Structure 1
Amino acid sequence: MDIKLIALDMDGTLLNSEQAVSDFNREKIAQALAKDVHVVLSTGRWLSSCYPYAESLNLSSYLITCNGGEIWTVDKELRERHLLNPERVQMMWELADDMGINTWMVSTDKIWYGNGPDHFSDHEWLKYGCDSHDTEKLDTIVKELSYYDDLELTNSLPTNIEVNPKGVSKASALQHVCDEIGITMENVMAAGDSLNDIKMIQEAGIGVAMGNAQEAIKNVADYVTDTNNQHGVGQAIEKFVL
């Protein structure tokens, strides 16, 4: 397989439990870059919380943020953006608030933790999230939101729900990046650990699940590497790219 792009989830994948990139992972990414392989962070995080990592790794390609809600160049040029309906965001916030579930929401101007704005329509919304260790409450929210056909539901942990506009995913954003570069998804190795990674892992030429991944991810992956605390990303790059 001629891998020309490596797409990496961050939390639970590239980053260890200390939110750091290990020396081994850093070394293997540098070696891939030296072979003119694109390395793209493909994350649920927003730009400001992932850009410093891209900078420290000397990445020179694209950044996929908010689960595919935005695509940026490393020069912070916005290439694509997908927004949620403000009325939907308000509905989801009120639903979780009524159930006593913690929420976070990403707008283009700030991150909202727990509270919401006075007027949701005054903001542009990229992603909605909520989390709880009460699985019954999470199941109730998933059931309620499943009636809306304009929403894309995933998670980044078994204890949360993340929502983007329908059709928005890391996979759809990666396809756009591939088109920009002039390659196909067959030339992509994608690594991740959660449901927001599942489509890019399924559609990539080589889909890699982390050793700490949710079982559904391991079941669809072509290969299961070591955990995020044991340099699983670097091991996969060494095996399939170098």
Structure 2
Amino acid sequence: MDIKLVALDMDGTLLTGEETIAAYNKERITQALDKGVRVVLSTGRWIGSCYPYAESLNLQSYLVTCNGGELWTMEKELLERHLLVPDRVKMMWQLCKGVGVNTWMMSTGDVWYGNRPDDFSAHEWLKFGCDSQDTDKLDMIVKELSYYDDLELTNSLPTNVEVNPKGVNKASALQRVCEELGITMDNVLAVGDSLNDMKMIQSAGIGVAMGNAQEAIKNAADYVTDTNEQHGVGKAIEKFIL
């Protein structure tokens, strides 16, 4: 494979449990950049919580944030934005409160943890999430939300559910990145660990699952690397690029 772009999930993938980037991973990313390979963070995080990591790695191209809800350049130019309908966000918040799970919501201007705005329609909503250690409760949430055909359901941990507008995912955002760069998804090495990484791993020329990935991701991937605590990202870059 002629890999020209590496797409990296962050939590559970590039980052350790302490939310740091190991020196080994930094070194391998730098070596890939020196070879002319683009590196793109492709994350469920919003721009404010991932941009500093991209800066620390001296990345120069794009940022896929909010599971593909937004696509940014490293100059903070917004290329794409996909929003949830405010009434849907209000409905999901009420559903989660009724079931008894924790919630978080990302608007274009803020992140709401556990609380809600007075007026949902006064905000532009990028992503909705909920979490619980009670997987039966999460199953209830997934079942109820599955009736809405305008929602895209994934997770970033087995203990949460994440919701974007239908058709919005990391793979669709990376497809736009490829168009901007004049390459195809066959030229992409994608690395991740959770269901919100599934489509980009399936669509990439080489899809890599972390050693700590959910089993479904390992089954879908072309290759399983080491865990996020054992430099799995750096080892994948070393194997396929360096």
Q: TM-score range by the shorter chain?
A: over 0.9
Quick one: distance in 2 between partners of 1:111 and 1:95? Answer: 19
Other-structure match for 1:116: 116
Quick one: distance in 2 between partners of 1:17 and 1:118? Answer: 34
Other-structure match for 1:174: 174
Mind listing any 5+ residue stretches in structure 2 that lack a counterpart? none
Quick one: distance in 2 between partners of 1:100 and 1:117? Answer: 19
Cα offset for 1:98?
A: 1.3
Other-structure match for 1:187: 187
Please list, as runs of the form range in 1=range in 2, the aligned pairs for 1:50-69 lying within 5 A after superposition. Answer: 50-69=50-69
Cα offset for 1:17?
A: 1.2
Other-structure match for 1:28: 28
Other-structure match for 2:6: 6
Cα offset for 1:22?
A: 0.5
SS in structure 1 of the partner of residue 14 of structure 2: coil
Quick one: distance in 1 between partners of 2:57 and 2:67? Answer: 20
Quick one: distance in 1 between partners of 2:207 and 2:215? Answer: 14
Other-structure match for 1:126: 126
- 1:124-144: per-residue Cα shift (whole Å, max 9, x none)? 000000000111110011000
Provide TM-score, normalisation by structure 1: 1.00
Asked if 1:18 is matched to 2:15, the reply is: no
Please list, as runs of the form range in 1=range in 2, the aligned pairs for 1:153-164 lying within 5 A after superposition. Answer: 153-164=153-164
Quick one: distance in 2 between partners of 1:149 and 1:236? Answer: 36
- 1:27-77: per-residue Cα shift (whole Å, max 9, x none)? 000000001110000000000000000000000010000000000001100
4+ aligned runs moved over 6 Å, structure 1? none
SS in structure 2 of the partner of residue 168 of structure 1: coil
User: Which amino acid letter does the alignment assign opposite residue 32 of structure 1?
Assistant: A
Other-structure match for 1:106: 106
Quick one: distance in 2 between partners of 1:12 and 1:48? Answer: 19
Quick one: distance in 2 between partners of 1:109 and 1:15? Answer: 25
Provide TM-score, normalisation by structure 2: 1.00
Quick one: distance in 2 between partners of 1:196 and 1:154? Answer: 5
Other-structure match for 1:220: 220
Paired residues, number = 242
Cα offset for 1:100?
A: 1.6
Quick one: distance in 2 between partners of 1:112 and 1:20? Answer: 24
- CA RMSD of superposed structures (Å): 0.4
